[in-house]
């Protein structure tokens, strides 16, 4: 069960922070992808029709000169630290959920600066002084009753919006249901005739709860302007914090991150023993010159040990790699993790068939330890992404971005869901079964394909073979092998509108007399071995 809360809140939000953190300016067409979908895009890319959630091929179709980038969460957190420090100069109670957005209650700061309007102007000026040039003009500052409405206020208009006290329901009422970021629920509500948050807020609570359960009632409370937190959320009953004295002082990220991972495991064990789960975590540090640093991090759900270690590493990188004028004057001598808000642990229900297992938990813990040692970007797992070519079907994803026990992609308020294993096939994709051994284009091996008369086989402009393949020679396997069976060809023409990246090829499956099956590709008049079947 949840309870409504509406605390006057200020939110600082940077539009498309994942792409700005990589250094791309508003006039450069660039986009950051998660899987095969757009997460963030520059203003130049948006002018060409590129929007978050769009598939990669659609984005490149609308903007042929688009630069596609891979997301770097650690760099996003590092780059956002000066912004958080600028906000912390006005109030120390700054809370982060994802890099690019931070929030703080306004009750004390507004009284000190003479009202919300004066506070907003002061925060906006302070943030503008530390913003990178590539993100100039992309900052929004919003104030409203509740963090949900404040986030939407920060994203509305040029530079954000100040919603007067008591005006939050009227501000939310005309907004579309999509701002709830619950696509399954909002799709059903839309088919029932609800068009905006005001329509949802006007429904009786009992009817919404009876028809849609707790997710529906939670959405209704957000539509009415309340934040939704668990009723059993509370400060820790006892001192559950963990700390480590660092002697000698630590100034390197990898050393501090190793300590952070150990602290996260210890804190998780303490919480498990006490029957609690952590909603909000305070990361605290002290330097050899007596400086004290502290940041609050909140997660959409409860913080797992891997999520704690990841956010602590982000924060350490932000503290230790900012500009010389903003970083600590000495090495860290103490690091502490303090659970700031907890809820009773609900436990995990294991399935009879498959489900979570001890082996999956061991693998997750091992990946977490490795990520703490060598960095989150160095430990990867395979993730299905989709594509026409075998080498595009899967990609490597940072292990810290995946629930290794449940094999479910971690999503946040700003993330984009990855394609599932049951996603429909791409047009032009090879028929099942998929190859088991796939080479990247740079590693594929040459091949020679001849017909029965010894004439090289080619593929014409209409996608037809010049003659039936009879013999094949593969690099690394001397001598010709006779073709026992073959299928295809399957022609593919991609990005025909872009001279620099367009591609035209055809694929052919063959089974040779040694019982090996191969996928051959002809491109530019030459045959290559692209994949093998085992």
Per-residue pLDDT tens over the stretch 425-469: 566 677 666 677 777 766 778 888 888 888 888 888 887 888 888
Instruction: Write down the pLDDT at residue 360.
Output: 63
CB 141 within 8 A of CB 117: no
> Which one has a higher pLDDT value, 316 or 500?
316
- How many Å apart are CA 21 and CA 75, to the nearest integer? 7
| CATH number of the domain located at residue range(s) 22-71 in this protein | 3.40.1170.60
For the chain, the C-alpha Rg in angstroms (whole number) is 27
CB 72 within 8 A of CB 377: yes
- How many Å apart are CA 50 and CA 213, to the nearest integer? 35
φ, ψ of residue 78 to 5 degrees: the values are -60, -45
Chain-wide mean pLDDT for the chain? 78
Domain ranges of the chain: 22-71, 242-344, 358-406, 437-533
CA distances (Å), origin 224, targets 144, 150, 325? 12, 13, 43
- How many Å apart are CA 356 and CA 359, to the nearest integer? 8
Half-sphere exposure of 474 (CA within 13 A, CB side): 21
Residue 267 has pLDDT above 70, yes or no: yes
Instruction: Write down the pLDDT at residue 359.
Output: 61
Half-sphere exposure of 320 (CA within 13 A, CB side): 22
- How many Å apart are CA 287 and CA 250, to the nearest integer? 9
- How many Å apart are CA 67 and CA 276, to the nearest integer? 45
Q: How confident is the model at residue 25 (pLDDT cuts 50, 70, 90)?
A: confident
Instruction: Write down the pLDDT at residue 83.
Output: 87
Q: Give percent of the chain above pLDDT 90.
A: 2
CA distances (Å), origin 100, targets 80, 131, 282, 333? 6, 11, 18, 28
389: left (phi over 0), alpha (psi -120 to 50) or beta: beta
Burial class from Cβ neighbours inside 10 Å (0-12, 13-18, 19+) for residue 70 reads: middle
Question: Residue 408: beta bridge partners?
Answer: 403
Q: Which helix (H) or strand (E) holds 447?
A: strand 445-450
CB 241 within 8 A of CB 339: yes
Instruction: Write down the pLDDT at residue 420.
Output: 44
Q: Which residues contact 338 (CB under 8 A, 6 or more apart)?
A: 241, 281, 282, 284
Same fold, 22-71 and 242-344: no
Instruction: Write down the pLDDT at residue 243.
Output: 87
Q: What is the pLDDT of residues 355-379, one digit of tens each?
A: 555 566 666 667 766 766 666 667 7
CA distances (Å), origin 438, targets 33, 36, 483? 23, 19, 21
Q: Which residues contact 211 (CB under 8 A, 6 or more apart)?
A: none
Beta strands 37-41 and 471-474 are unpaired
Q: Give percent of the chain above pLDDT 70.
A: 77
Q: Which fold has domain 242-344?
A: Dna Ligase; domain 1 (3.30.1490)
> pTM of the full predicted structure?
0.64
Beta strands 8-14 and 2-5 are unpaired
Residues 156-174, mean pLDDT to the nearest whole number: 86
């Amino acid at each position: 069960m949840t309870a409504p809360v509406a605390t006057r809140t200020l939110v600082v939000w940077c539009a498309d922070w994942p792409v700005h953190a990589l250094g791309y300016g508003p006039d450069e067409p660039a986009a950051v992808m998660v899987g095969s979908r757009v997460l963030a895009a520059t203003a130049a890319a948006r002018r060409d029709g590129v929007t978050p959630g769009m598939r990669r091929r659609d984005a490149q179709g609308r903007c042929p000169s688009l630069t596609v980038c891979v997301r770097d969460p650690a760099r996003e957190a590092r780059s956002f630290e000066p912004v958080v420090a600028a906000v912390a100069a006005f109030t120390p109670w700054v809370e982060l959920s994802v890099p690019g957005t931070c929030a703080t209650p306004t009750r004390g700061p507004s009284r000190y600066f003479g009202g919300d309007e004066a506070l907003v102007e002061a925060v906006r000026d302070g943030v503008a002084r530390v913003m990178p040039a590539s993100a100039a003009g992309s900052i929004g500052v919003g104030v409203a009753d509740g963090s949900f409405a404040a986030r939407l206020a920060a994203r509305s208009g040029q530079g954000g919006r100040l919603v007067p006290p008591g005006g939050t329901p009227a501000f939310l009422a005309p907004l579309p249901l999509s701002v709830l970021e619950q696509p399954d629920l909002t799709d059903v509500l839309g088919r029932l005739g609800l068009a905006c948050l005001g329509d949802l807020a006007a429904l009786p609570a009992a009817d919404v709860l009876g028809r849609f359960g707790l997710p529906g009632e939670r959405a209704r409370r957000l539509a009415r302007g309340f934040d939704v937190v668990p009723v059993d959320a509370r400060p820790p009953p006892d001192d559950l914090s963990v700390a480590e004295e660092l002697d000698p002082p630590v100034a390197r990220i990898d050393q501090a991150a190793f300590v952070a991972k150990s602290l996260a495991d210890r804190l998780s064990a303490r919480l498990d023993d006490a029957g609690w789960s952590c909603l909000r975590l305070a990361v605290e540090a002290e330097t050899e010159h007596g400086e004290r640093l502290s940041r609050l991090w909140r997660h959409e759900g409860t913080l797992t040990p891997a999520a704690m270690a990841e956010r602590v590493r982000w924060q350490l990188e932000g503290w230790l790699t900012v500009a010389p004028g903003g970083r600590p004057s000495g090495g860290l001598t103490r690091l502490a993790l303090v659970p700031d808000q907890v809820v009773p642990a609900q436990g995990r229900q294991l399935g009879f068939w498959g489900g979570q297992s001890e082996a999956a938990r061991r693998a997750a813990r091992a990946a977490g330890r490795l990520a703490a040692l060598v960095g989150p970007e160095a430990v990867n797992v395979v993730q299905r992404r989709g594509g026409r070519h075998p080498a595009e079907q899967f990609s490597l994803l940072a292990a810290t971005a995946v629930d290794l026990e449940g094999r479910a992609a971690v999503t946040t308020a700003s993330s984009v869901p990855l394609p599932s294993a049951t996603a429909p096939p791409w047009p032009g994709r090879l028929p099942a079964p998929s190859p088991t051994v796939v080479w990247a284009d740079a590693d594929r091996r040459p091949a020679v394909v001849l017909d029965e008369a010894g004439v090289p086989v080619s593929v014409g402009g209409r996608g037809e073979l010049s003659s039936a393949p009879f013999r094949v020679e593969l690099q690394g396997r001397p001598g010709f092998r006779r073709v026992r069976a073959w299928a295809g060809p399957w022609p593919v023409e991609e990005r025909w509108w872009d001279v620099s990246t367009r591609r035209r090829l055809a694929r052919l499956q063959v089974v040779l007399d040694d019982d090996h099956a191969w996928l051959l590709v002809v491109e530019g008049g030459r045959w290559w071995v692209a994949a093998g079947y085992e």
